[in-house]
């Protein structure tokens, strides 16, 4: 521990004043001289702490409503000087500059300001910090000699080191704090840039900076040999989603694959206004149903493919009470017994809320209860909070693709019946369900629905005919009288022919093929109804 790094002089200027009084009082108890600015100095003096006002150091008053106060050679010279460089030391002496060994700064609350209803451009501009980031960067650049503190969360660590080591902070800690400081200023500039781009209505500006903060490390990634962590943007969405969900006590940490699958399940279930249940396995829905009764919706969704549902993700858009928890236990216990696997096995259940009795039943019920099932509460689903400005990101080696989220759903006013026969009211309900689900299945995909439940899914196939064949094979006898949805148009009528042979009565597809008429004619031949939506739903 070098005595060169002993903290003797500190500059404190914070917007977030949580804990700053105790922090500065502890510094002064260790004989540290403290310089402070504006509101921070007032708060400290009101607490009975004597500090040096910034103008006593610079020789200039704070001016222009506080815009100019720390941008001065006696401040930045004290931060940037290399204490082991004779020329720097001489310049300090010649210009009456004293070194500053610790800087405690957090920045104007720009993101909090622009998030407030009614925030004007003028309000936002006034909350762009200039002096703060300048001091942070100067101190972080010279972290060989200067300790930079940018968050109340760092106060305890710094004080403990100083108290243990005669007022010194270790090289490793100073380097770590500097890294965090540069990440902070980068995120701050990113938020400002994004806000100004939004004000100018630039959907895809020339340069996009994505600032993320680590939430927590994961056990591993998609496979055990891959490390992984979960990161969140500095400006967090308030929409109900997996990232905002609260994990109820109990259950092991949610994994990389669990997060991906749970996001896929919840993203689909919140599409529905009616009570709905979704079961997802490996990013694809294997069961989806709607009903006036959420318990019936769950039973229909689970029954669509119980083999795949075992060990999957359950998503519900209604609260889970004891009766619903019992229905889940009954289905999983029965199927688990048939497989010889014993009790309950679902990785995650995500829903707006869970009654205490339901949690107890899921955790402890004999034969199927599991303490390690993850229960995630999202709060009430409010579609008005869906953030349509959030990017959908896809990573390539060496680059990232950005696109708008696919938020298009069932649009009755845009749909066009292209056959002589229109769908019946029952068929129309099933077509809406199938079309909603097809958006959430990996392409190429075909989805079959019947009685407001999915009965067959053909996902991720290289051609649409095979996707249709898989969906029909999965549906078995339930294909008779079902409806079909395709995520993209039919280039040939072969899918329609295959559907007719299986007894499918109606089809919804985007349309737009040069040979649409061949598919329409084939549907007419078998008295099938067909709807064109004009929108496709590829999902890669």
* Contact present, 187 and 106 (Cβ < 8 Å): no
Which H or E run includes 80? helix 73-80
CA 376 to CA 242: how far, in whole Å? Answer: 8
**pLDDT attached to residue 344:** 55
Sheet containing 529-532: order of strands:
246-247, 374-377, 348-351, 313-316, 276-281, 284-290, 453-458, 446-450, 483-486, 506-509, 529-532, 416-417
Task: Say what the alpha-carbon torsion angle 254, 258, 259, 265 is, to the nearest 10 degrees.
Answer: -130
pLDDT tens digit string along 373-398? 899 999 999 988 888 888 899 999 99
Q: What is the mean pLDDT of the chain?
A: 90
Q: 3-state SS string over 81-136? A: CCCCCHHHHHHHHHCCCCCCCEEEEECCCHHHHHCCCCCCHHHHHHCCCCHHHHHH
Q: What separation in angstroms does the CA of 356 have from each of 29, 92, 249, 485?
A: 50, 66, 11, 39
pLDDT (tens digit per residue) in 44-62: 999 999 888 887 887 777 7
Cis ω on the peptide bond leading into residue 96 (within 30° of 0)? no
CA atoms within 13 A on the CB side of 516: 18
pLDDT at position 420 is 97
Per-block average pLDDT, block size 10, for the chain (540 residues)?
A: 72 92 94 89 90 81 71 85 89 88 90 87 88 91 95 94 92 94 91 88 84 90 95 85 89 89 97 97 96 97 90 96 92 60 74 95 70 89 88 90 92 96 98 98 97 97 96 96 97 96 98 96 97 96
Structure pTM?
A: 0.84
What's the pLDDT at 1? 44
Q: Which of 282, 385, 526, 535 is catalytic?
A: 282
Q: Is residue 420 flagged as an active site residue? A: no
Nearest residue to 241 via CA among 90, 114, 78, 383: 383
Which of the 8 DSSP states describes residue 441?
A: S
How many residues are listed for the chain in this entry?
540
514 catalytic per annotation? no
What integer pLDDT is reported at residue 3 of this predicted model? Answer: 45
Q: What is the pLDDT of residue 355?
A: 96
User: Do 263 and 393 contact (CB within 8 A), yes or no?
Assistant: no
Domains of the chain: 3-199 (3.40.50.1380), 241-383 (3.40.140.20), 416-532 (3.40.140.20)
Q: Distance between CA 194 and CA 14 in Å, rounded?
A: 24
SS (H, E, C) 256-323: HHHHHHHHHHHHHHCCCCCCEEEEEECCEEEEEEECCCHHHHHHHHHHCCHHHHCCCEEEECCCECHH
pLDDT at 390: 85
Which of 6, 141, 385, 535 does the annotation list as catalytic?
141
């Amino acid at each position: 521990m070098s005595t060169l790094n002993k903290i003797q002089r500190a500059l404190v200027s914070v917007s977030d004043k949580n804990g700053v009084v105790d922090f500065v009082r502890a510094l002064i108890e260790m004989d540290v001289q403290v310089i402070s600015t504006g509101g921070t100095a007032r708060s400290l003096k009101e607490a009975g702490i004597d500090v040096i006002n910034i103008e006593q150091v610079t020789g200039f008053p704070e001016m222009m409503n506080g815009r100019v106060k720390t941008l001065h050679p006696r401040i930045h010279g004290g931060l940037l000087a290399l204490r082991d460089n004779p020329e720097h030391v001489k310049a300090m002496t010649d210009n009456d500059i004293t070194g500053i060994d610790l800087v405690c700064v957090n920045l104007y609350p720009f993101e909090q300001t622009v998030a407030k209803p009614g925030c004007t451009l003028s309000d936002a501009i006034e909350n762009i910090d200039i002096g703060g980031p300048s001091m942070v960067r100067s101190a972080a650049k010279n972290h060989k000699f200067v300790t930079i503190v940018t968050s109340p969360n760092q106060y305890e660590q710094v004080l403990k080191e100083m108290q243990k080591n005669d007022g010194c902070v270790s090289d490793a800690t100073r380097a770590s704090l500097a890294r965090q400081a540069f990440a902070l200023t980068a995120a701050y500039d990113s938020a400002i840039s994004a806000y100004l781009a939004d004000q100018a209505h630039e959907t895809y500006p020339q340069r996009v900076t994505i600032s993320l903060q680590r939430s927590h490390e994961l056990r591993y990634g998609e496979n055990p040999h891959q490390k992984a962590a979960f990161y969140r943007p500095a400006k967090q969405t308030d929409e109900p989603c997996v990232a905002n969900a609260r994990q109820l006590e109990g259950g092991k940490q949610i994994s990389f694959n669990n997060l991906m699958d749970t996001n896929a399940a919840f993203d689909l279930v919140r599409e529905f206004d009616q009570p709905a249940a979704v079961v997802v396995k490996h990013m694809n829905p294997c069961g989806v149903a709607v009903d006036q009764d959420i318990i019936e919706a769950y039973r229909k969704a689970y029954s669509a493919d119980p083999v795949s549902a075992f060990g999957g993700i359950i998503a519900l858009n209604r609260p889970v009470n004891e009766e619903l928890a019992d229905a889940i236990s009954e289905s999983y216990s029965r199927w688990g017994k048939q497989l010889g696997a014993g009790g309950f096995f679902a990785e995650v259940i995500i829903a707006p809320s869970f009654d205490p009795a339901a949690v107890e039943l899921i955790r402890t019920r004999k034969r199927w209860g599991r303490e390690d099932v993850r229960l995630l509460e999202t709060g009430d689903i409010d579609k008005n909070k869906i953030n349509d400005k959030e990017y959908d990101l896809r990573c390539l080696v060496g680059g990232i693709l950005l696109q708008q989220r696919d938020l298009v759903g069932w649009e009755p006013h845009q749909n066009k019946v292209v056959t002589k026969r229109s769908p019946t009211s029952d068929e129309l309900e099933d077509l809406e369900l199938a079309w909603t689900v097809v958006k959430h299945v990996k392409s190429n995909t075909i989805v079959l629905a019947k009685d407001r439940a999915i009965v067959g899914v053909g996902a991720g196939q290289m051609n649409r005919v095979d996707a249709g064949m898989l969906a029909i094979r999965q549906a078995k006898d339930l294909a008779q009288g079902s409806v079909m949805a395709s995520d993209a148009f039919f280039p040939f009528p072969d899918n329609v022919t295959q559907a007719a042979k299986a007894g499918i009565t109606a089809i919804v597809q985007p349309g737009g093929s040069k040979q649409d008429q061949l598919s329409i004619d084939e549907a007419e031949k078998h008295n099938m109804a067909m709807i064109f939506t004009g929108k496709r739903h590829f999902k890669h």
